Structure 1
Amino acid sequence: MKLKFYKEEDNDYVKIVTQDGKELEFDYIEMIRHIFNEKRIEEADIDNHYSEEEVESIKTLISDISATIEILFNTDEVKDDLPINS
């Protein structure tokens, strides 16, 4: 899953792009569901109507989300690997 950022008529829009290429209207719950199922987020698609500062801000956001996903799911794997005390 990745997010697609684009501008039309001075309005900002975001869509969720699924692994099979479907574009969904942005919804936080839907985004979280895809992140949970796929355990990752891909680099965002950002159209060329954004300033350099906006592009960097979006890239930082995606990078931060990606780092958090990695921590969350690696923590689960570590817990799964720990022996259970009887």
Structure 2
Amino acid sequence: MDGQEVKVEKIEEGFHVRVKCEKAKDTLVSVLEVLEEMGLNVVQARVSCNNNFSMEAIAAVADHQNQEKLDVIVVTQTILRATKINQDGKETHE
């Protein structure tokens, strides 16, 4: 897979997040940590780590006062940074 793909859409309860990238150690943990740091709670998720890492999730805003600070661009860029950092330090297990 070439590069990474992050798509974020605003939905009523928060954000619909889709992430696809090369599989690396702790990618899921990295993505979940940045979502939590932004005040988002994952309420539903589907993750696949077979050949590549793929995650589709619904992330709800935990603190509605922070809702104004969060937008699609901020969430997308933060997830992209987390996956890139994870990719740069990835360990292969083949």
After TM superposition, the score normalised by the length of structure 1 is 0.36
The structure that is helix-richer by fraction is 1
Structure showing greater radius of gyration is: 1
The structure that is strand-richer by fraction is 2
After TM superposition, the score normalised by the length of structure 2 is 0.34
